[in-house]
């Protein structure tokens, strides 16, 4: 009986017969049979599963130069299956397989060089091994080589080369490559800009469940870019991304519920999705949730909760939230009344160009409320607001110019 007879039995599901054929051959030193026994023990087919026995048989075959066994033994070392975990040993066996042209080993060897795992970090070596695997059609290597060209790591930066390798991986169904190719068409990087092509590649990745692609596709439908405008389709794709906890999609789904665009209007559903995004730290959602609490829209009115969420957004630099929080401190609504704290948050918003905050801060300096009175500062902030067309600030500035020297 030959190795091929064992293969026929194995492929037909007759593992007992396969074992009876391969075991004598393996004991006689046949490397292919030894490797095959390693796989049987690894997968527990025809024998009791044993990583230790799998590693032992893989080693016998690997030491004879069997490339499959070299790769599999490297994998066992990488994951500590049946042997003591060792990245160095994993690299050693992957290298042996890689030098024989084994694409998966070349890819993993490149990845380990990239991260400096079990070997000295080297972007150049990473690129060299990734290229070898990529040229053999290994989809993960193609994607990662595209990334290396995209960021210029270990190779001269080239958008065009990035597109080439992303496309090769994308055409094999690699989700991230499809998304990245969509982005490059979207912004015209390394390829002629095309909203239609961007949509096509986003769709491929989105249909495989990639949340960023689902979000981008929803955004395209919202604005009718590269696809016929449809709030209903936008909502479909935003929901898919939102259900994967994509914060921006959750926020936009909440907004669509709030305004009844593409979905039935529902303040309650808007609040639900705003909260989901807010709890992930998305500042826009935190601000909107604060507004919902402030106005009792979609949930029970609660000034304290409004202040909590406005503060979270304000601390991330959200200008409207900073303004609102300042106003709440000024009036003692949901927080302890403090003109000093009001001035702090209004200044934060004003420094970001928030015209209402600039105007009120100008008035506070004029009246000396929460800050030391300063006509000069009142002029300064009132003028900034007035320059943005703020009518009340323009009136105040006119009064200042009438009554004080500038």
Residue 250: predicted pLDDT: 98
Residue 405's pLDDT band (cuts 50, 70, 90): low
Phi-psi region of 297 (alpha: psi -120 to 50; beta: other; left: phi over 0): beta
Mean pLDDT of 79-94: 97
- Can you tell me the mean pLDDT for 380-399? 94
Q: Give tens-digit pLDDT for 89-124.
A: 999 999 999 999 999 999 999 999 999 999 999 999
User: Quick one: which of 64, 47, 65, 57 has its CA closest to 82?
Assistant: 57
280 falls within a domain: no
Residue 231: inside a domain: no
Q: What is the pLDDT of residue 244?
A: 98
Q: What is the pLDDT of residue 62?
A: 97
CB-CB neighbours of 377 under 10 Å: 16
pLDDT at 1: 84
Q: Please indicate, yes or no, if residue 83 is contained in any of the structural domains.
A: yes
Token duo for residue 125: 């070596």
The pLDDT > 90 percentage for the chain reads 98
Decide if 307 is inside a domain. Answer: no
- pLDDT confidence of residue 256: 97
Cα angle 86, 90, 96 (rounded to 5 degrees) comes to: 150
Residue 85 lies in a domain: yes
Under the banding of pLDDT at 50, 70 and 90, the label for residue 67 is very high
Tally the domains of the chain. Answer: 1
Per-residue pLDDT of 338-361, as tens digits, reads 999 999 999 999 999 999 999 999
- Chain segment 224-252, per-residue pLDDT in tens: 999 999 999 999 999 999 999 999 999 99
Paired tokens of 146: 């595209």
- Residue linked to tokens 């994998």: 75
What's the token pair of residue 234?
């936008």
Q: Is residue 74 part of a domain?
A: yes
Residues 6+ apart with CB under 8 A from 192: none
What is the phi/psi pair of residue 137, to 5°?
95, 10
Query: For residue 12, is it within any domain?
Result: yes
- The answer to whether residue 110 sits within a structural domain is no
Asked if pLDDT for residue 82 goes beyond 90, the answer is yes
Domain region containing 84: 1-97
CATH number at residue 67: 1.25.40.10
| Whether the predicted model's global pTM rises above the 0.85 cut | yes
Best CA proximity match to 328, nearest among 314, 317, 338: 338
């Amino acid at each position: 009986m030959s190795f091929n007879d064992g293969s026929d039995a194995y492929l037909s599901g007759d593992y007992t017969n396969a074992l009876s054929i391969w075991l004598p051959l393996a004991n006689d030193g046949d490397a292919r049979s030894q490797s095959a026994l390693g796989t049987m023990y690894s997968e527990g087919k025809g024998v009791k599963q044993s990583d230790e026995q799998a590693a032992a048989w893989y080693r016998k075959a690997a030491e004879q130069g069997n490339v499959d066994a070299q790769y599999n033994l490297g994998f066992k070392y990488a994951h500590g299956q049946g042997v003591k975990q060792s990245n160095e040993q994993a690299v050693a066996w992957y290298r042996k397989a890689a030098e024989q042209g084994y694409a998966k080993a070349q890819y993993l060897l490149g990845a380990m060089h990239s991260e400096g795992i079990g070997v000295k970090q080297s972007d150049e070596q990473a690129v060299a091994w990734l290229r070898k695997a990529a040229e053999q059609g290994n989809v993960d290597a193609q994607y990662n080589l595209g990334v290396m060209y995209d960021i210029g790591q270990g190779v001269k930066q080239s958008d065009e080369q990035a597109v080439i390798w992303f496309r090769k991986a994308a055409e094999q169904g690699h989700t991230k490559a499809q998304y990245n190719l969509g982005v490059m068409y979207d912004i015209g990087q390394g390829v002629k800009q095309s909203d239609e092509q961007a949509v096509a590649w986003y769709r491929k990745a989105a249909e495989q469940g990639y949340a960023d692609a689902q979000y981008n596709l929803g955004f395209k439908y919202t604005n009718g870019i590269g696809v016929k405008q449809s709030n209903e389709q936008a909502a479909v794709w935003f929901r898919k991304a939102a259900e994967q906890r994509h914060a921006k999609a959750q926020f936009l789904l909440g907004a669509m519920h709030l305004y009844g665009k593409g979905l039935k209007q529902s303040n309650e559903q808007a609040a639900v999705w705003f909260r989901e995004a807010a709890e992930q730290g998305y500042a826009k959602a935190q601000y909107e949730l604060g507004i919902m609490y402030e106005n009792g829209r979609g949930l029970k009115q609660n000034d304290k909760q409004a202040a909590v969420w406005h503060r979270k957004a304000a601390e991330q630099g959200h200008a409207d939230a900073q303004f609102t929080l300042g106003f709440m401190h000024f009036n003692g609504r949901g927080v302890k009344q403090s003109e000093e704290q009001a001035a702090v948050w209004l200044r934060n918003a004003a420094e970001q160009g928030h015209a209402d905050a600039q105007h009120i801060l100008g008035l506070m300096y004029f009246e000396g409320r929460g800050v030391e009175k300063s006509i000069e500062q009142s002029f300064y902030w009132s003028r900034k607001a007035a320059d943005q067309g703020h009518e009340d600030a323009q009136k105040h500035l006119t009064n200042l110019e009438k009554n004080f020297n500038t």
